[in-house]
Amino acid sequence: MAKIVSFSNQKGGVGKTTSCVNIAAQIAGKHGKKVLLIDMDPQGNATSGLGLPKSKIKKTIYDVIIGRNDINEVIIKTKFKNLHVVPANIELAGAEPELYDMEEGSANFTKLAIESIKDEYDYIFIDCPPSLGMLTVKALSISDGVVIPMQCEFYSLEGISQLQNTIKRIKQLYNPGLQIVGILLTMYNGRLTLTNQVVAELRKYYADKLFKVPISRTVRLSEAPGYGEPICYHDPYGKGSLEYAAVAKELMLRI
């Protein structure tokens, strides 16, 4: 049975997609696990980051959410070992209001769809959009765990307590088993004073949640999606790849 893990943070540009894509590819390619990545962001960055041209994609997660297609009709095999993807594109932006309209207890197509394929994968990773809207609520409601990527900035600390409140509410309302798998520091630069202050603050409150290895800021990580390649293929022996490999290992121990 697959473990379902969402990558979530309502702030944009904190490394959710980069972490989701690279951890998924690492676990699939190097640990022999079968992995499905679900792109839950209308921007479709995870989709294009895996080399799939968004404009050519006909069926997306949106079709699953509204019950138009079976999830098996939407899954695409990527060219990377053991890694499948349910893509997204801008059409998914239309799902937010529709999800609001769906009354509680009405057909939960997404949950049913994912349950129907849980046996076929070891991990299902969900790349969430930068908001705490319905798409994120939906993703967290069906997840076993959540990874919170964050940058070492002052506002990140405020953001994280807001996200924690959302997680608490989702646990109460829909998903009591939801756990925080870990907080992942991204675009890390240990030479900055601010970084060290934020890390010290985080250690105070979330010591057991922080992944041991932070992800450094590197050009290779930012250029890889332009080539449609996860970092473990684009620059396998570079810093970014080694750091994501360490985080992937730790994640597999945690969930």
Ligand X SMILES: Nc1ncnc2c1ncn2[C@@H]1O[C@H](COP(=O)(O)OP(=O)(O)O)[C@@H](O)[C@H]1O
What is the binding site for Mg ion (CB under 5 A)?
A: 16-17, 45
**Identity of the residue, 72 or 222, whose beta carbon is nearer to ligand X in the bound complex:** 222
If one asks whether residue 12 binds ligand X (CB under 6 A), the answer comes out as: yes
Opening angle at CA 148, ends 145 and 66, nearest 5: 60
* Span interacting with ligand X, options 10-18, 24-32, 62-70, 190-198, rule CB under 6 A: 10-18
If one asks whether residue 254 binds ligand X (CB under 6 A), the answer comes out as: no
How many other C-beta atoms can be found within 10 angstroms of the C-beta atom of residue 116? 12
If one asks whether residue 51 binds ligand X (CB under 6 A), the answer comes out as: no
In the range 209-238, which residues lie near ligand X by CB under 6 A? 215, 217-218, 221-222, 225
If one asks whether residue 33 binds ligand X (CB under 6 A), the answer comes out as: no
Six token digits for residue 12: 């944009």
How many other C-beta atoms can be found within 10 angstroms of the C-beta atom of residue 117? 17
Q: Round to whole Å and give the CA distance between 180 and 151.
A: 17
- Residue among 187, 198, 231, 248 that touches ligand X (CB under 6 A): 187
- Residue among 6, 10, 18, 136 that touches ligand X (CB under 6 A): 18
The candidate with the shortest Cα–Cα distance to 8, out of 155, 114, 133, 92, is: 133
- Residue among 70, 122, 130, 210 that touches ligand X (CB under 6 A): 130
**Identity of the residue, 19 or 69, whose beta carbon is nearer to Mg ion in the bound complex:** 19
Q: CB under 8 Å to 166, separation ≥6 — which residues? A: 10, 132, 136, 137, 140
User: Does residue 69 come out as left (phi exceeding 0), alpha (psi in the -120 to 50 range) or beta?
Assistant: beta
**Identity of the residue, 113 or 215, whose beta carbon is nearer to ligand X in the bound complex:** 215
Q: Which helix (H) or strand (E) holds 52?
A: none
Binding-site ranges for ligand X (CB under 6 A): 12-18, 45, 130, 186-187, 215, 217-218, 221-222, 225
